[in-house]
Amino acid sequence: MAHGFGLALKKHRMLYYNTMTALARTILRSLSFFLVAGGAGLFVLCLSSAPARAHPHAWIDVQSEILFDAQGQITGLRQTWLFDEFYTEFALQDFGVGQKKTLDTKKLLELGQQNLDNLKPFGYFTFMDADTTRVNFTGYRDVASDITDNRIRLSFTLILENPVHPQKQAVSYRIYDPSYYIDMKHVDKDGVTIRNAPSCRATLERPKPDVAIIAMAGALDKNAKAPDDLGRFFAERVRIHCQP
């Protein structure tokens, strides 16, 4: 997870360490049984007795829109992140907001821009490839933020340093936290859209992590340093396909 992602997320860690929902406990107990039955060994039995240790500890629902120019090149990626209720509650507390969860637009934008600025060294948790070359982003624009269903929603557009042409290159991207402290997934099959490119389509590939990787993530304490790029194994991949 990026350093300085916000005091709210630090408090959020403590809440998830001390509080685990019944649903999460059930999921982890089921996962432990599955792994043992599959021959992963007694190692994962500890998951059912200490579920709060398992990564991830925070969740973001994602929507992404691929932006094209008139020449058929990808120039940007519009994203919307919907933070979980626990992060939202602590973020609002940091701004002195009570249970009514009301915050003016200026303060919400301040929080969103702070988060994005802190994520710049980490590529904004967005990793795009054109063939075998990593695509860089120059920054973000068009930031918007509000609260919907008691959850902070943050929208922004990432600008590609150099446009890429999906008719000439194999273009794909993933949105994830490399440490897998935060789980980031598109909300549904319609969570990826395309603007200004009627001859193009996007496909969303769900991750299929190895059983051993799942066990490793499940055994990580909230303060443990995750292996480099652990989140990649749990990340979705979006591929862009365009007709000539």
pLDDT digits (tens, 9 = 90+) for 51-89: 445 668 789 999 999 999 999 999 999 999 999 998 888
Of the listed ranges 73-82, 159-168, 195-204, 214-223, the least confidently predicted one is: 214-223
Would you state the pLDDT for residue 43? Answer: 26
Q: What angle do CA 72, 123, 89 make, to 5 degrees?
A: 115
Measured distance CA(242)–CA(11) in Å, rounded = 44
Assigned domain for 2 exists: no
Closest CA to 145 of 181, 175, 179, 106: 106
Given phi > 0 = left and psi -120 to 50 = alpha, else beta, which region is 92?
Answer: alpha
The rounded percent of the chain whose pLDDT value lies above 70 is 72
| Res 46 pLDDT > 70 | no
pTM above 0.85, yes or no: no
Q: Taking the CB of residue 165, how many other CB atoms lie within 10 A of it?
A: 14
Assigned domain for 1 exists: no
Assigned domain for 15 exists: yes
Would you state the pLDDT for residue 117? Answer: 95
| Res 158 pLDDT > 90 | yes
Assigned domain for 97 exists: yes
Q: Taking the CB of residue 208, how many other CB atoms lie within 10 A of it?
A: 8
Assigned domain for 14 exists: yes
Dihedral, CA of residue 47, residue 29, residue 210 and residue 14, to nearest 10: -50
Assigned domain for 30 exists: yes
Q: How many structural domains is the chain composed of?
A: 1
Measure Cα distances from 167 to 69, 97, 133, 171, 212 in Å.
Answer: 13, 49, 16, 9, 37
Assigned domain for 134 exists: yes
Average pLDDT, the chain: 78
Domain carrying residue 150: 7-242
Measured distance CA(150)–CA(102) in Å, rounded = 9
- Phi and psi (nearest 5°) for 39? 95, 15
Which tops the pLDDT comparison, 3 or 195? 195
For residue range 180-206, what is the model confidence (pLDDT) as tens digits?
889 999 988 789 999 999 999 999 999
Joined tokens for residue 76: 């940007």
Assigned domain for 169 exists: yes
Would you state the pLDDT for residue 107? Answer: 81
